[in-house]
Amino acid sequence: MLHHLKFLRRTRCRPLFFDAQWYLDRYGDVAAAGLDPLQHYLRWGRDEGRLPCLMMAAWRERDVRWGLSEADHDTLDALARNTAGDIPRADQVWATLACARLQARNGNWGDAQALLRGLDPDREILRGFCLPDPALLSIEADVMAGDLAAARQMLTQARALFGLLPDLTLAEANILAIGAGHGTAWTQVLAPLYRRAGKISVAVDPAHPDQPAFDGLRPAGSVRPNRRGPLVSVIVPAYNAETTLATTLRSLRDQSWGNLEILVVDNGSTDRTAEIARIATRQDPRIRLLDGHAEPGTYGARNLGMAQASGAFVTVLDADDWAHPDRIAQQARALTGARAPVASLAHWVRTTPDLRFTRWWREEGLTHPDISSLMIRAEAREALGFWDRARAAADTEYHLRLQARFGPKSLIEVLPGIPLSFGRVRPQSLTQARETGIGSHLFGARRDYQLAGQRWHLRMQDRGDLPLPQYPKERPYQIPAALALPATNDPPPRADDAEWLATSGIYEDSWYMQNYPDLRIRETDGHLHYATTGEAEDRDPGPGFSTSGYRMAYGPFSGSPLRHYLQEGRAQGLSPLPIFEGALPPPAAGRHVLVFGHQARSHVFGAERCLIDLLERLYAAGMTPSVVLPQIQNPDYLETLKARAYQVHVRPYGWIFGNVPPHPATVAGLAELIRSSKAVEIHQNTAVMDAPLRAARQVGIPSMVHVHELPAQDPRLCMDLGCSAEELRHHLLRHADRFSANSQAVAEWLGLPAGQIALLPNRINPDLQTLPFAPADPPRVALIGSLIAKKGVRDFAEVARQFARMGGEAQFLLIGPETPDLKRLGDLPANIRHAGYVPDPVAAMRQADIVLSLSHFAESFGLTVLEAMAAGRPVICYDRGTPPTLLGEAGAGFVTAADDTAAVAKALCALIADDRRLEAASKAARARAAMLIDGAETASLAALEPPSIT
């Protein structure tokens, strides 16, 4: 959580890059709750990772930080430098900020400053997203580049917007220290910050010019220690800390809380650390030196200190940090009293040796909660036990363990935003290392370790695992190899039914998170997600097991399909990747093709029907198709596919998202399937995937993509794919060999020469052309399809209301499944009825006299529109996508301005008011459809022949 969120809530800044309607459309739960979109975003949305408007750069930056992006940082650079104007300005601004953050992390401050200079300071850096971090980044870049005037200007503008945000005070100290030195700067700036908080101010001792400024930190003025409070034990683990330990211990000796026990644990140092500690023990009897040579790692040293601590409260200070003179007092006082919390922690700021406050890994400002500062009551220590023995991140685990045991309100953060600890930035520290660095909290060893610990927390009390011993007989839970301490030689955790998924050998967290970008966006624990909801959603645990395929082949099960496979199915020889035998005979040599679909939902809509159409066309062209699907949820649809295929395979794979490639195991699995099938070509029935195309390239056979989407006019689709239409186009052209388009608009978007693309319009059920047209009284007006927001279900309800207000009489029918978007409409107008889902288009058209097409995106073809016209049903559609070209000028209905529900209602009144006009529109629709259908059927089937055959 942004620690400065409470400060941001006090500002009146409305982000300029905020689109209220887009926010409601994108986040249906906000719309359903009737919340003000801006207030939701400011109070909760941005903290939950929600976006303020149509943009993808934030997701791109996250995937780059996670190390998943194929184009690495080039993808952000391309967004930042976009000159074509085909992406929102918000995307460009965020991408520019992301590139500047990257340059800053790498120490390239001049490049960071140059990038930021391309943004408008007020409208983009400050008010674009109303977040302080871009301003802090800009100030630090200007300071590092020596442009103090620009830094002061940005500080002034940020102050006007964010007020007394403590981070801005620290930034001001950085500016002043350049010209006036730390003494003057900190007296003018930091003294008021601590004075407002009622705390002792901080100064820098000028008597040590040969030492880093950090080692000159001291209280500003004398400190009178209060020795009457409860004893506080402070553990100081130290390893080769000869250059920093004296400063750390001096900060403890200068504490205003005088009743201290300071336990320095020498963790096997080979320098003068122990000697410096011994000198300190002679100067202050509160300091004790403990020999921790035999203790493995920092947390082993902490545990030795905890075992010997005798205080009522216990806390830690690392041997390269400096504690504000009121830190211990502030935390200890928070724990006194009968109803006080169990633990407290302070905030800190990362500081260079020359005392420049600098930003940290989360990119959320300067000050952060200091998890290492956790101070606990002695009784909490008795209940929780010791720190886990790991190379890193065990303090975070202990912090979470405490909250799991005592509840989220058991911990109090003292003086949020006011730094009571200064952390010394050292490039060689474990927090900076690549494999175990602090960034691996996002995606890597620290994240895996933290999530495994949280799963242990869910079951530790039931298993009697607490308190955790100083020297456990076994590990409490699995630990990533990068964070394991070989010296501990702890046996692995005992078998636990609750960890069956982690130990299955089938669930792969990296695959799960890479395959499902929506989980990355929410930074979800993939393991818990699959076990609690993912399996029920027919998601797959890894590339080697199909949840939906296994259920369809061998179910139903009373429990988990994966559990059934592990406990029974594997021993019975059941396949984790089932193959369903189809009705077609084995293919002749050189005639087998694999057809990849992108979805097979519980209800059959356009995507599913287009796949059936492609199978029939391939068979008519002399090929024998087999189908490959990422999941299967509809047994009737499976039977339909089997009747038109040699085999149906269900294999785990996902959609394109940004520049994140499919997991290597996904491509390898599909490549092996292609190789073993002896397919001569693969056909991909959509533009939204690339794993099959990459696998085909790996095997060395050609691929053909059948494009049924119009991304250039479908921002929602681009959002779902995490890339712009032009990026998607280039991606497809790079990975596929040839294409078909279902409309001229799609062909124009692809922009390919005639020899590389074929026009294959969608086909319809011929029985529609003989369906009688006998309008009911009053006529029936239908919206047919998936009944989701992007298909215009809300618009349909509004048309019905406006039509009734105009005095019109009609039955409005919603023909499709019940959906969350439909439920969000609440009580429907009296003239609307939900007729339910009808799988057969002929049966659906029997219930309709007039069909509306109100999609909020550009339909690439408009299959329902053509089906309605073939059945002689007049159509009223928005002027968006291909449906208007299907209607043409033949009088088959009306085309209205996009999103103009009043115009639709008016056109409907005109059509229904005159029976002769309605009859004429029906005949014109059927005639126009017949012409279009004849054109589709004359499309050359030779276009489907693999190049190796033709």
Same domain, 777 and 750: no
Q: Which of 301-315, 513-527, 872-886 has the lowest mean pLDDT?
A: 513-527
Percent of the chain scoring above 70 in pLDDT: 94
Residues 311 and 395 in one domain: yes
> How many other C-beta atoms are found inside a 10 Å radius of the C-beta of residue 740?
24
**CATH code for the domain in which residue 896 is found:** 3.40.50.2000
Q: Are residues 325 and 405 located together in one domain of the fold?
A: yes
In a domain, 807, yes or no: yes
**Are both 745 and 781 inside the same structural domain?**
no
pLDDT at 135: 96
Burial class (CB in 10 A: 0-12, 13-18, 19+), 12: exposed
Instruction: Show Cβ contacts of residue 301 under 8 Å, excluding neighbours closer than 6 positions.
Output: 235, 237, 238, 239, 265, 267, 292, 295
Is the pLDDT at 435 greater than 70, yes or no? no
Candidate from 486-490, 612-616, 763-767 with smallest mean pLDDT:
486-490
Q: How far lies 375's CA from each of 311, 313, 412, 788, 822, in Å?
A: 11, 6, 10, 51, 51
Q: Of 573, 365, 384, give the one whose Cα is nearest residue 468.
A: 384
In a domain, 50, yes or no: no
Asked which of 133, 161, 196 is the last residue of a domain, the reply is 196
Q: Are residues 172 and 222 in the same domain?
A: no
Q: Are strands 419-424 and 321-323 parallel, antiparallel or unpaired?
A: antiparallel
- Does the pLDDT of residue 429 top 80, yes or no? no
Cα–Cα distance between 488 and 297 in angstroms, integer? Answer: 9
Residue type, position 732, single letter: L
- Residue predicted with more confidence, 824 or 423: 423
Tell me, yes or no, whether 43 lies in a domain. no
- With a cut of 90, say whether residue 279 has pLDDT above it: yes
Confidence band, pLDDT 50/70/90 cuts, at residue 939: low
Task: Please report, for the domain that includes residue 253, its CATH number.
Answer: 3.90.550.10
Residues 140 and 243 in one domain: no
Residue 284 CA, chain-centre distance (Å), reads 51
Whether residue 936 has pLDDT greater than 70? no
Give the number of domains in the chain: 5
Contact 638, 546 (CB under 8 A): no
**Does residue 38 form part of some domain?**
no
Q: Between 939 and 334, name the one with better pLDDT.
A: 334
* pLDDT band, residue 2 (cuts 50/70/90): very low
> Average pLDDT in the 387-395 region?
94
Choosing from 759, 777, 795, the residue where a domain stops is: 759
The radius of gyration computed from the CA coordinates of the chain, to the nearest angstrom, equals 33
Residue 267's pLDDT is: 95
* Candidate from 339-353, 428-442, 460-474 with smallest mean pLDDT: 428-442
Residue 32 is assigned to a structural domain of this protein: no
According to DSSP, the residues that pair with 647 across neighbouring strands are 581
Average pLDDT, integer, range 142-163: 95
Is the predicted pLDDT of residue 439 greater than 80, yes or no? no
Q: Given pLDDT bands bounded at 50, 70 and 90, which one contains residue 361?
A: low
Q: Examine residue 652 and state whether it is found in any structural domain, yes or no.
A: yes
End residue of a domain, out of 759, 781, 816: 759
285 and 421, same domain (yes or no) = yes
Task: Give tens-digit pLDDT for 905-915.
Answer: 999 999 999 99
- What is the arithmetic mean of pLDDT over 387-393? 93
The one-letter code for the residue type at 844 is A
What's the pLDDT band for 430 if we cut at 50, 70, 90? very low
Are 220 and 192 within one domain? no
Supply the pLDDT for residue 537.
92
Residue of higher predicted confidence among 498 and 257: 257
State the Cα–Cα distance between residues 855 and 877, nearest whole angstrom: 8
Evaluate whether residue 944 is within a structural domain. no
Query: Given a cut of 80, is residue 488 above it in pLDDT?
Result: no
Say yes or no: 541 and 677 in one domain.
Answer: no
Q: How many CA atoms lie within 13 A of 875 on its CB side?
A: 33
Give me the chain's average pLDDT, please.
90
Mapped onto helix, strand or coil, the DSSP state of residue 450 is helix
Length of the chain: 950
* Encoded tokens for 70: 């194929």
Looking at per-residue pLDDT, the higher value among 10 and 810 belongs to: 810
Q: Do residue 708 and residue 850 come from a single domain? A: no
Tell me the C-alpha distance between 347 and 908, whole Å: 64
**Structural domain containing residue 64:** 5-17+55-196
Q: Would the pLDDT of 644 be above 60?
A: yes
Same domain, 807 and 927: yes
Could you tell me if residue 377 is inside a domain? yes
Whether residue 636 is found in the same domain as residue 740 = yes
> Please, which pLDDT band fits residue 493 given cuts at 50, 70 and 90?
confident
- The pair of three-digit structure tokens given for residue 668, joined into one six-digit string: 């390898």
Please, how many CA atoms are within 13 Å of residue 616, restricted to the half-sphere of its CB?
A: 13
